[in-house]
Amino acid sequence: MALTPARTMPGVLELLPLDQIAFQRMLDTIRRNYERFGFLPIETPVIEHSEVLLTKTGGETERQVYFVQSTGALNAADKEPGGVPELALRFDLTVPLARYVAEHEHDLSFPFRRYQMQRVYRGERAQRGRFREFYQCDIDVIGKDSLSVRYDAEIPAVIYSVFRELNIGAFTIQLNNRKLMRGYFENLGVADAEQQMLVLREVDKLDKRGPDYVRDTLMGEAFGLSADATAKILDFVQVRSTSVADAFAKLDALGSGSETFEQGRAELKEVLALIRDYGVPEAFFALNLSIARGLDYYTGTVYETTLNDHPGIGSICSGGRYENLAGQYTKSHLPGVGISIGLTRLYWQLRDAGLVSTAQSTVDVLVTQMDAAQLPAYLAVANELRAAGIATEVVLEGGKLGKQFKYADRAGIRFVIVLGEDEIAKGVVTVKDLRREDQFEVTRADLVKTLRVELAQAEIGR
C-alpha cells in the first residue's frame, strides 16, 4: 500500500510535547490572571452560522473565512454554484462573543466580565509568521446600556498582571483615546467622519512608512491638508509620556478643543490615574497618541502593548473600547471594552527571540526498573508519589539502567528513582537529580516530603 504523507497544512503551529508544555504554561498563566480579576470563562463552538459571522464584516475578512460543509451539504452545494455555505469557522472571538451575549442576554449578569481562550481560523495566504489557526486569549467587559470608563483602567491592570507573570521582559501598555484623536482632527478642519477615518488610517502607517510618507500623503491631492495642520497632526501622534504626571502635562499642552476632544482628554486622564490606583507601576504604561487601532470599531480608549527590548515584535496585546457590541443581533445597547492576546503568534515570536524555551517535562519523577519481579514495589512507590500530586512515570519495560537514565534526560524528567535489592532491604530509595548531576539516598518514609521540597525549589527557580 502506498503511504500517505504525514503532514499538517501550512500555517499551523504544531508543537513537540516539551514545547507544548511551555505553551500550555503560558495559557495557564493567562487564565489564572484573567480569573484573578474576576473574569468568567466561556467557550463557543468553532463552527457558526455564516450569516452570524458575516453580518458586519466584508471585503478583507470575508475573503479569509473558512466555510464548512458536511459531505451531504457538499453535494447539495454542487447544484447551487456560487451559494455561500451555511456554516463557517470563526475568524475571531469578538463576533462569537457578540452572538453569545445577544443569545444569552437574559441569563447573564451585567457588567459581564468574560474571558475566552480558543483557536480562531483565517484562510491567510501561507507566509512566515502568518497563522491560519491560532489561539486568541480575550477579555471583555460588557455593560448593559452603559459602562463606566473605569473599566477601561481595569483592562490594563489585568494585562500588567499577565505579562509580569509571563516573565518575558519589560513591556509598556500604551494608551490613546479615539475621541481625543477625532476631536483634535476636527479642530484642524478635518470634520468629516469618513475623512477622519482616512487620516487615521494614514497615521496608522507612521511606524511602517515613516513621517515623510505620511506628511506627503496628508498634504497631497487625496487629503489636501495645510502644512500647519499636517505638522500639528504629526506632532500630536508623536506624543509619548514617561509618567502619569507627564501624561497629564502633555495632554494639557494640547490646548482646548471640541466637546469630543475634551471628553477624550477627560477619559484618558481618569483612566491613567486609575491604572496607577490599580497598582500598576508607572514604568509599565504610557500615553502614545499614535495608536489608532481598528478603524470603525473602537470609539474611546485604545491599547497596544509592546516589549521594550523587542519593538520589532510589534503589539503583543491590543484592544479598546467600543460603543455597541451586538447591534446586528439585538436591540439592546451593549457597550464594552476588551483586549486580545494572539498567543500562537506571540509564542512563536518569543521562541524565535529566545524569550521562551522548551519546558522541563510535566513529569517530575521517573521510577526506573532494575528487576521486573520488583514491579509491584516500583508501582507502590509511584502510587505514593502520585497520591502526593507528584507526576510520576514508571519504566514498565526494563533494559539497561544507563539507557533508562538517558531516556529521562532526553524526556526532560529531572528526578530518577532507583530501587534495587540493596535499597529495598535497607528501606530506602536512591534519588538521582539529573539537573544537578547529583544523587542522594532517602528513606521511604521521607521520600514524598523530600521530593516535594526539591520540586517546590525547582518551581521557584524556574
Query: What CA–CA distance (Å, rounded) separates 319 from 86?
Result: 30
For its own copies, the binding residue among 205, 410, 426, 449 (CB under 8 A) is 410
299 assigned to a ligand binding site: no
| Single residue of 65, 137, 190, 247 touching its own copies by CB under 8 A | 65
390-409 residues in contact with its own copies (CB under 8 A) are: 390-394, 396-397, 407
Which residue, among 207, 206, 231, 201, has the nearest Cα to 219 in the 3D structure?
Answer: 231
Q: Is 369 helix (H, G, I), strand (E, B) or coil?
A: coil
Q: Is 34 annotated as a binding residue?
A: no
Residue 284, interface with its own copies (CB under 8 A)? no
Do 88 and 54 touch, CB atoms closer than 8 A?
Answer: yes
Cell numbers linked to 332: 439592546
Please pick, from the candidates 231, 266, 380, 458, the single residue that binds its own copies as defined by CB under 8 A.
380
Dist. CA 92–CA 95, nearest whole Å: 7
Q: Is residue 271 at the binding interface for its own copies, with CB under 8 A as the rule?
A: no
Pick the piece of the chain touching its own copies (CB under 8 A) from 143-151, 178-186, 296-304, 453-461: 143-151
**266 counts as binding its own copies under rule CB under 8 A:** no
**Long-range pairs of 230-239 with CB within 8 A, sequence gap ≥ 24:** 232/184, 232/188, 233/184, 233/185, 233/188, 233/199, 233/203, 236/181, 236/184, 236/289, 237/203, 237/206, 237/289, 237/290, 238/289, 238/290, 239/287, 239/288, 239/289, 239/290
Q: Is 259 left (phi over 0), alpha (psi -120 to 50) or beta?
A: alpha
What's the DSSP call for residue 112? E
Grid cell digits, residue 339: 483586549
Total binding residues toward its own copies, as defined by CB under 8 A? 107
92 is in an annotated binding site: yes
Among the candidate windows 97-105, 224-232, 256-264, 291-299, which touches its own copies by CB under 8 A?
A: 97-105
Question: Is 410 known as a binding-site position?
Answer: no
Give yes or no for residue 7 binding its own copies (CB under 8 A): yes
CA pair distance 21, 358, nearest whole angstrom:
8
Choices 92-100, 175-183, 282-290, 416-424 (CB under 8 A): range interacting with its own copies: 92-100
In the list 339, 356, 363, 381, the residue contacting its own copies (rule: CB under 8 A) is 363
- According to the binding rule CB under 8 A, does residue 282 interact with its own copies? no
Which residues between 307 and 326 bind its own copies (CB under 8 A)?
A: 326
Q: How far is the CB of 119 from its own copies (least distance, A)?
A: 7
Question: What distance in Å separates the CA atoms of residue 132 and residue 137, rounded to the nearest whole number?
Answer: 16
Q: Does 458 bind its own copies (CB under 8 A)?
A: no
Q: Is 267 in the site for its own copies (CB under 8 A)?
A: no
* Of residues 172-231, those binding its own copies (CB under 8 A): none
Among 29, 44, 57, 358, the residue binding its own copies under the rule CB under 8 A is: 44
Q: Using the 8-state DSSP alphabet, how is residue 186 labeled?
A: H
- Name residue, grid cell 466561556: 42
Closest CA to 83 of 92, 74, 91: 74
Per CB under 8 A, which of residues 418..457 are in contact with its own copies? none
Contact with its own copies (CB under 8 A): which of 192, 207, 235, 277? 277
Closer residue to its own copies in complex, CB, 190/455: 455
The verdict on whether residue 93 carries a ligand-binding annotation is yes
On whether 433 is known to bind a ligand per the annotation, the reply is: no
Q: Was 122 annotated as part of a binding site? A: yes
Q: Does 416 bind its own copies (CB under 8 A)?
A: no
Judged by CB under 8 A, which stretch of 60-68, 247-255, 286-294, 300-308 contacts its own copies? 60-68
Q: Which of 29, 64, 172, 430 binds its own copies (CB under 8 A)?
A: 64
Q: Residue from 29, 57, 85, 165 that binds its own copies (CB under 8 A)?
A: 85
Q: Is the dihedral of CA 297, 299, 303, 304 positive or negative?
A: positive
Among 26, 60, 90, 111, binds its own copies (CB under 8 A): 111
376, 402 contact by CB (below 8 A):
no
- Helix, strand, or coil (residue 415): strand
Block residue for cell numbers 509592546:
306
Query: For the chain, what is the radius of gyration of the CA atoms?
Result: 28
Residue among 201 and 410 whose Cβ is closer to its own copies:
410
**Does the annotation list 297 as a binding residue?**
yes
Q: Counting contacts by CB under 8 A, is residue 51 touching its own copies?
A: yes
How many Cβ atoms are within 10 Å of 421's Cβ, its own excluded? 10
Total Cβ atoms within 10 A of residue 2: 3
Q: Any idea which residue has 464584516 for its cell?
A: 57
CB of 227 to its own copies, least distance (A): 42
Q: Which residues are annotated as a binding site?
A: 92-94, 122, 136, 140, 293, 297-298
Q: Which residues are annotated as a binding site for L-histidine?
A: 92-94, 122, 136, 140, 293, 297-298
